Structures are given as structure tokens and as C-alpha cells.
Amino acid sequence: MDAHENSLRRAYSYEYPHPAVTVDCAIFGLDEGKLKLLLIQRDLEPFAGAWALPGGFVKLDEDLETAARRELEEETGVKRVFIDQVGAFGEPGRDPRERVITVAWWAIVNLFEHPVKADTDARNAAWFAVDELPALAFDHRTILDAALARLRDTIRREPLAFEFLPRKLTLTQLQRFYETVLGEAFDKRNFRKKALSYGILTELEEYEVDVAHRAARLYRFDKTAWEKLRKAGGSFSI
């Protein structure tokens, strides 16, 4: 910060107390056919030993998305993943330390390609099925519920399922993903017809291996075809 910026800060500094700002991340992944959430076990008070969403305070020199991506990288060790904002949460007393407003985000980590690790201020990091969660610290259950609603709404309108799944997948895997996340059953024939109708799945000359049942054909998501469809005004809906 140069002398001019220092002068402006002194001249126009606020005379009243103002809150701190944090980011919290609801990080979702698919494992063993279940939608899972990454939680960290806090090593420090408040709520030492409790499970919480990964997050931390926003630095003075970073914007909100940069802060969220930094926290995501620190908690998972991965970069360049899908991330989107859920909203702001600022109920007084949500953090017993001081007045804190948090901006929450949700992100997708492909567990088939990226392992995760615990950050330095966390005792442990672990994946939990979203329907088998422990009690969460702060107001993180409220944040999670909002993030889940945003996730379910978004995957109906955008082909984000492929961010969760292997690069080469079967139509059965795709259908099971939607049934798992949305909590509803789809007719097999109708689902396959609709999934293929968008022209964003490339049929491969490859099949499943090492399976007890009849090997199914593999497909790959064609991101270029999706971008072309979207630019042409096309849409996606499941």
C-alpha cells in the first residue's frame, strides 16, 4: 500500500465497528454411489473437535471467489474445479468470537481423479454421505441446506453431472447419479433417450471391463458440443 492509499484510508476510515468476512465451502463429490460432503474436524475453538464446512477469513487483498478457491485448494489440494456462490449468511451471533458475515460457496470435486487432504488448522478431513452427517458447527447446517438446494436446481439445468463422474461412463452410471442426487427414480428408456438427445455424449468403441453383468458401452461428455449448443441458444434439462 503506497502513501496515497494510506492517506485515503486514514481520511475515510469508518468510525463504527464493522464485521469480519469469511468464506465457507460446501464441497460435494460422488463416492460408492452416494453424494458426499467434505467436512473438516476443527482443531481450534470455538467448536474444537466438531465437524464443519471448510472455510476461513477473507484476506484484505483478495476478492470473494479468490478466497473461496484458496480455501478449496488448501482443503482438497485441487484447483480448477467448478465453484459457484450460494449466498451470504450474517445472523448476529452465528460466530461466538466476533461479528462475522460469511459468503458461502458450493463446489464439485471429482473423487475419481482428485484425492483430498486436511488443512493445517484442521484435525481431520473426511467425506460423509449427505444423509449421514454429524452435527455441524456454527450455522453450517443452514448453509449446507441452501447449497444442496442450489446443487439440485443447477444439475437439472446444466450438465454438471460430468464434473462428478469418470471421464468414460455408462448411461446407467449417469442415471444413477441423477437418481441419487435428486432423490427420484427415472424410467430407464426415457432417461437414455433424453440424455442422448442433446448431442453432448460421444459414443465410444469401448465397454466396461471386469463386471459381473453384460458389459455396457462407454460414453464421454463432449464439452465442445455443449458449448456450441449453448451458444446457439440450446438448453439442457433433466
Q: CA-to-CA distance for 159 and 181, rounded, in angstroms?
A: 13
Q: CA-to-CA distance for 162 and 222, rounded, in angstroms?
A: 10
pLDDT at 118: 57
pLDDT at 122: 60
Decide: helix, strand or coil at residue 7: helix
pLDDT bucket at 225, cuts 50 / 70 / 90 = very high
> Whole-prediction pTM value?
0.87
Label each residue of 37-80 as H, E or C. EEEEEECCCCCCCCEECCEEECCCCCCHHHHHHHHHHHHHCCCC
Number of Cβ within 10 Å of residue 156's Cβ equals 14
Domain boundaries, the chain: 20-157, 161-231
SS3 content of the chain, % helix, strand, coil (to 5): 30, 25, 40
**Shared fold status for 20-157 and 161-231:** no
Residue 16 DSSP label: S
pLDDT at 72: 84
pLDDT bucket at 74, cuts 50 / 70 / 90 = confident
Q: Which residues make beta-bridge pairs with 217?
A: 207
Number of Cβ within 10 Å of residue 170's Cβ equals 18
pLDDT bucket at 28, cuts 50 / 70 / 90 = very high
Would you identify the CATH topology of the domain 161-231?
Arc Repressor Mutant, subunit A (1.10.10)
DSSP secondary structure of 145-213: HHHHHHHHHHHHHS-THHHHS-SEE-HHHHHHHHHHHHT----HHHHHHHHHHTS-EEEEEEE--S-SS
pLDDT at 61: 94
pLDDT at 84: 96
Q: CA-to-CA distance for 206 and 213, rounded, in angstroms?
A: 16
Which class is 20-157 in CATH? alpha beta
